[in-house]
């Protein structure tokens, strides 16, 4: 992956990022035996709430201080930061937050500590299976699930009620309902989703492939060019050009742009992550009280499927303070911390028991409905080569959805390239 970047650019990035990490607060501060550095992406909402959690850990663990470092908001830039620094054996940070798709890659490279023994069996039983699968490589766990995401179907309850419709169970039902409503309500889109060429597109497409009975890998074999996948990708294109329930601009949308359209009352259905619900329910929202959430539809005869998202917490193998780092990971991923983060920041817990917690259900009634969806969420292909695979899938999927390639041709091309990356025969 690094070969895509000019050497001088990598050098500059490395110097920039390493400089950002070496200036550790509390250096030389009396009364502090150990300072661990925690690197992570931007925390949404009130950042002070998150800081209070870190200070609580320090109170409960005298002698350990936490210096948190916020990385650039782009996950691509975060990934590049980790690749550069971990590959160089950097000891400038101890604990790191990772996108669900990075753990196998980092584990294969030898950059993470094995944390298989960090949680008890009862704790592991309380965690959703998808995130546990995503942090496991060669039978060992190299991170602890921190918070979870999965694709959801948002819908306008008021518009469906007007025509006596229920949330669609199948993709065909979604098309029919969207058509009925858009014919009555001009100036409103039927269904919007994330169709721009980026990682979010892969998440969306996988949900269509799985919900049509298709897949990417099966028993180590690449199965992209299958009749099920061709039907799924063809259906996505037809949403735009035949059924006309999705606008052409869908090929430019990401999570936030689609959220703004739906949040302004300009769409009947939307695919997005759980974070959007809290925003829709804020005071002043044009759709407050009008939004429902359901599992994504599927093709007739197949189960619904949602792509697993979320972030995990791991430990730098070169950490100078592994014991303190382990204590911090246990604290940050504990049931108590996950509950606090759900209430204050909006992160959805990876611990299943919290979805029946009285405080969470009272303050966020929406959360109880997520349990079964999150339970069945499926990770993207769990492979140390996933980052190379997605660079193949993104342009091929985009070409099919934009009408540049036939779905069958795009899938055939993607299959051949992924086979080459994985070193497997057709």
Has residue 16 got a pLDDT over 60?
no
Has residue 167 got a pLDDT over 60?
yes
User: Is 276 exposed, middle or buried (CB count within 10 Å of its CB: 0-12, 13-18, 19+)?
Assistant: buried
Q: Count the helices and strands in the chain (H runs, E runs).
A: 18, 13
Residue that wins the pLDDT comparison between 234 and 76: 234
- What are residue 136's DSSP bridge partners? 141
**Which pLDDT belongs to residue 9?**
42
Q: In the predicted model, what is the mean pLDDT of residues 276-296?
A: 93
The CATH 3.40.190.10 portion of the chain extends over 2-149+310-374, 152-305+385-422
Summary mean pLDDT of the chain: 91
What is the tens place of the pLDDT at every residue in 223-281? 999 999 999 999 999 999 998 999 999 999 999 999 999 999 999 999 999 989 888 98
| Pairwise CA distance, residues 71 & 213, whole Å | 38
For the record, the structure tokens of 346 come out as: 């909006």
pLDDT band at 183 (very low <50, low <70, confident <90, very high): very high
Has residue 27 got a pLDDT over 70?
no
What is the tens place of the pLDDT at every residue in 77-99? 999 999 999 999 999 999 999 99
Topology at the third CATH level for domain 152-305+385-422 = D-Maltodextrin-Binding Protein; domain 2 (3.40.190)
Question: What sign has the CA pseudo-torsion 276, 277, 278, 282?
Answer: positive
**Which pLDDT belongs to residue 241?**
94
**Which pLDDT belongs to residue 8?**
40
User: Alpha-carbon Rg of the chain, whole angstroms?
Assistant: 22
Q: Is the domain covering 2-149+310-374 a CATH 3.40.190.10 domain?
A: yes
pLDDT band at 425 (very low <50, low <70, confident <90, very high): confident
pTM: 0.86
Has residue 19 got a pLDDT over 60?
no
What is the tens place of the pLDDT at every residue in 92-120? 999 999 999 999 999 999 999 999 999 99
pLDDT band at 75 (very low <50, low <70, confident <90, very high): confident
């Amino acid at each position: 992956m690094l070969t895509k970047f000019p050497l001088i650019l990598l050098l500059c990035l490395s110097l920039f990022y390493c400089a950002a990490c070496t200036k550790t607060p509390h250096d030389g501060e009396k009364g502090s035996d150990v300072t661990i550095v925690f690197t992570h992406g931007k925390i949404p909402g009130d950042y002070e709430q998150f800081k209070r959690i870190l200070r609580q850990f320090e109170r409960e663990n005298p002698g350990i201080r936490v210096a948190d470092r916020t990385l650039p908001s782009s996950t691509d830039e975060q990934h590049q930061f980790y690749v550069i620094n971990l590959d160089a054996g950097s000891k400038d940070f101890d604990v790191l937050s990772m996108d669900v798709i990075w753990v196998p890659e980092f584990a294969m490279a030898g950059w993470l500590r094995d944390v298989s023994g960090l949680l008890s069996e009862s704790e592991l039983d309380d965690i959703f299976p998808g995130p546990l699968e995503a942090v496991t490589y060669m039978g060992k766990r190299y991170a602890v699930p921190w918070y979870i995401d999965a694709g959801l179907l948002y819908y306008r309850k008021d518009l469906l009620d007007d025509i006596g419709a229920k949330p669609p169970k199948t993709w065909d039902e979604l098309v029919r309902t969207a058509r009925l409503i858009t014919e009555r309500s001009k100036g409103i889109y039927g269904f919007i989703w994330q169709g721009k060429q980026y990682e979010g597109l892969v998440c969306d497409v996988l949900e269509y492939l799985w919900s049509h009975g298709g897949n990417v890998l099966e028993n180590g074999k690449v199965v992209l060019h299958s009749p099920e996948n061709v039907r799924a990708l063809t259906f996505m294109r037809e949403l735009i050009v035949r059924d006309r329930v999705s606008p052409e601009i869908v090929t430019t949308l990401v999570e936030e742009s689609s959220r703004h359209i739906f949040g302004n009352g300009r769409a009947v259905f939307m695919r997005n992550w759980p974070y959007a619900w809290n925003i829709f329910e804020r005071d002043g929202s044009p759709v407050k009280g009008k939004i429902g959430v359901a599992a994504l539809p599927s093709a007739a005869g197949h189960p619904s499927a949602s792509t697993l998202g979320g972030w995990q917490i791991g430990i730098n193998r070169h950490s100078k303070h592994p014991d303190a780092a382990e204590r911090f990971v246990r604290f940050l991923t504990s049931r108590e911390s996950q509950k606090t983060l759900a209430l204050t920041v909006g992160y959805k817990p990876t611990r299943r028991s919290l979805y029946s917690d009285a405080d969470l259900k009272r303050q966020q009634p929406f959360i109880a409905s997520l349990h079964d969806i999150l339970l069945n969420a499926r990770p993207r292909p769990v492979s140390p080569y996933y980052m190379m695979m997605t660079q193949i899938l993104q342009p091929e999927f985009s070409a099919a959805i934009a009408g540049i390639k036939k779905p069958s041709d795009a899938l055939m091309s993607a299959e051949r390239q992924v086979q080459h990356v994985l070193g497997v025969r057709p």
